[in-house]
């Protein structure tokens, strides 16, 4: 599970990959060549970004004729969101515990 989340967050760490995922999740099934035309990088570089996203299961790729089409995978984005919500809850609980300690600890003398 952790390696899956690690792959997912590593994939989302890059701005170009986040943009590709956003486009693919917006219902826009798009070819890799069309994606490549949108970025100031080579076709091969965009292919590599898509491959990273595929390994993280953030997008899937399928063939239509001669084109490789990219489609977003909302379930993987939901897994990332759930992991972040869980971390947020953990940290909020810790801050609440710290608040309780600070409110119940008498001030030091001379302060």
Domains of the chain: 2-104 (1.10.10.10)
Tell me, what's the pLDDT at 110? Answer: 67
Q: Is the pLDDT of residue 59 over 60?
A: yes
- Strands (E) in the chain, as ranges, are 30-31, 59-64, 67-72
**Strands 67-72, 30-31: pairing kind:** antiparallel
What pLDDT does 39 receive? 94
Question: What residues contact residue 31 under an 8 Å CB cut-off, 6+ apart?
Answer: 67, 68, 69, 70
Listed residue (29, 103, 18, 87) closest to 56, CA to CA: 18
pLDDT at 71 over 90: yes
Residue 72, by phi and psi: left (phi above 0), alpha (psi -120 to 50) or beta?
Answer: beta
Q: What is the pTM of this model?
A: 0.77
């Amino acid at each position: 599970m952790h390696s899956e989340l690690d792959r997912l967050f590593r994939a989302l760490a890059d701005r170009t990959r986040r943009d590709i995922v956003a486009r693919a999740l917006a219902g826009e099934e798009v070819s890799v060549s069309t994606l490549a035309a949108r970025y100031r990088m080579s076709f091969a570089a965009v292919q590599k970004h898509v491959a990273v996203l595929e390994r993280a299961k953030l997008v899937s790729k399928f063939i239509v004729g001669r084109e490789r089409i990219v489609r977003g995978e909302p379930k993987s984005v939901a897994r990332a969101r759930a992991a972040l919500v869980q971390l947020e809850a953990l940290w909020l609980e810790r801050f609440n515990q710290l608040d309780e300690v600070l409110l119940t600890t008498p001030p030091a003398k001379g302060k």
